[in-house]
């Protein structure tokens, strides 16, 4: 059964798991059946049952990882289409994003401190709402554990894509600008992808803006905010 360890087979399996998970979610309409979460569970079970080492799987997965950064950059295309609207309200958008970034950093640090997490873990959690490539760089810079940060970022994105829209609705936020910005700020690329899929181009464009600005502000502000909270 050597073909099971072939990197191209494992790559195809990953795509099949994700596409199948998307089909299940569309058919059932159950928010908890997030395609990324379901795909992760399927792949983990497959690796455990077949005894395939993760390093072997990662050889095929590296092809997907290669396209992660260009995919994030591609989110700038719908953002460009909303450029005129963004220019007209640039200051309110920046202020809202700044508030969201600071609130996200401070809240996760305080919660982790209450739960008596070690300083290294706290620093790993700080960039939780930033897309993976940026979050890992920020984590490494401030003294966190990049691998732990990556796992937390994935969990944050999945949770945001499942529960974020319900929270927006519960808070009676009807504006696609406010809603999109909130989703992108809190749940980065995973939430943004869900915003495009479920709410349309304009909602997704402002989610892209939230994702982009939060990544930039987190990278810039983390080294200054965390020392004020007793870290770094």
- Model confidence at 99, pLDDT cuts 50, 70, 90, reads very high
Cβ atoms 223, 128 nearer than 8 A: no
| C-beta atoms surrounding 192 within 10 Å | 30
What is the rounded CA–CA span in Å between residue 100 and residue 191? 15
Inform me whether the pLDDT recorded for 141 exceeds 80. yes
| pLDDT band at 20; cut points 50, 70, 90 | very high
- Joined together, the tokens standing for residue 143 give 């003294």
What per-residue confidence (pLDDT) applies to 232?
60
Q: Which of 33-42, 77-86, 199-208, 209-218 has the lowest mean pLDDT?
A: 77-86
Quick one: which of 132, 105, 133, 58 has its CA closest to 226? 105
Q: Are 201 and 169 in contact (CB under 8 A)?
A: no
pLDDT of residue 127: 87
Q: Please indicate, yes or no, whether residues 10 and 41 belong to a single structural domain of this protein.
A: yes
User: Residue 116: how many CA atoms within 13 Å on its side-chain side?
Assistant: 0
From CA 196, how far away is CA 10, in angstroms rounded? 28
Same domain, 141 and 217: yes
Give CA–CA dist 204/191, Å, rounded.
9
Q: Is the confidence at residue 172, as pLDDT, over 70? A: yes
Mean pLDDT of the chain: 85
Residues 90 and 150 in one domain: yes
Last residue of a domain, one of 66, 94, 117: 66
Which is more confident, 117 or 4?
117
- Mean pLDDT value across residues 64-72: 73
Categorize the per-residue pLDDT at 42 as very low, low, confident or very high, splitting at 50, 70 and 90: very high
Do 125 and 93 belong to one domain? yes
- How far is it, in rounded angstroms, from Cα 59 to Cα 6? 9
Average pLDDT estimate for 130-145: 84
Domain check: are 153 and 171 in the same one?
yes
Q: Write down the pLDDT at residue 86.
A: 86
Instruction: Identify whether residues 132 and 207 lie together within a single domain.
Output: yes
Going by pLDDT thresholds of 50, 70 and 90, the confidence category of residue 45 is very high
User: Which of 16, 34, 66 is the C-terminal boundary of a domain?
Assistant: 66
Which residues have a Cβ under 8 Å from the Cβ of 194 and sit 6 or more positions away?
Answer: 160, 161, 164, 165, 183, 187
> 149 and 207, same structural domain?
yes
User: Looking at residues 75-79, what average pLDDT do you find?
Assistant: 76
pLDDT at 98 (0 to 100)? 93
How far apart are the C-alpha atoms of 141 and 145, rounded to whole Å? 10
Q: Which of 66, 86, 108 corresponds to the end of one domain? A: 66
Q: Are residues 62 and 107 in the same domain?
A: no
Give the model's pLDDT for residue 183: 92
116 exposed, middle or buried (CB, 10 Å; 0-12, 13-18, 19+)? exposed
**Co-location of 15 and 60 in the same domain:** yes
DSSP state of 118: -
User: Cβ distance 127 to 138 under 8 Å?
Assistant: yes
Q: Between 80 and 218, whose confidence is greater?
A: 218
Domain count, the chain: 2
> Phi, psi (5° rounding) for residue 154?
-60, -45
**Of residues 229 and 72, which shows the higher confidence score?**
229
Domain range for 7 is 2-66
Supply the pLDDT for residue 60. Answer: 76
Q: Is 131 left (phi over 0), alpha (psi -120 to 50) or beta?
A: beta
pTM of the full predicted structure? 0.80
pLDDT at residue 1 is higher than 70: no
């Amino acid at each position: 059964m050597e073909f099971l360890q072939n990197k191209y087979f494992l790559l195809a399996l990953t795509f099949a798991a994700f596409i199948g998970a998307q089909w299940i979610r569309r058919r059932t309409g159950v928010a908890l059946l997030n395609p990324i979460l379901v795909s992760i569970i399927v792949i983990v079970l497959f690796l455990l049952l077949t005894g395939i080492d993760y390093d072997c799987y990662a050889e095929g997965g590296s092809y997907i990882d290669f396209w992660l950064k260009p995919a994030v950059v591609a989110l700038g295309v719908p953002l460009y289409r909303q450029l005129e609207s963004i220019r007209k309200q640039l200051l309110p958008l920046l202020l809202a994003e700044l508030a969201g970034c600071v609130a996200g950093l401070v809240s996760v640090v305080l919660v982790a401190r209450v739960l008596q997490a070690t300083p290294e873990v706290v620093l790993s959690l700080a960039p939780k709402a930033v897309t993976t490539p940026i979050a890992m760089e920020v984590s490494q810079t401030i003294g966190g554990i990049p691998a732990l940060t990556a796992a937390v970022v994935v969990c944050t994105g999945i949770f945001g894509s499942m529960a974020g829209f319900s929270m927006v609705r519960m808070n009676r936020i009807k504006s696609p600008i406010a809603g999109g910005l909130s989703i992108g700020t809190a749940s980065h690329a995973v939430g943004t992808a869900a915003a495009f899929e479920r709410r349309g181009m304009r909602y997704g464009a402002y989610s892209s803006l939230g994702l982009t600005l939060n990544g930039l502000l987190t990278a810039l502000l983390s080294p200054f905010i965390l020392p004020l909270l007793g870290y770094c």
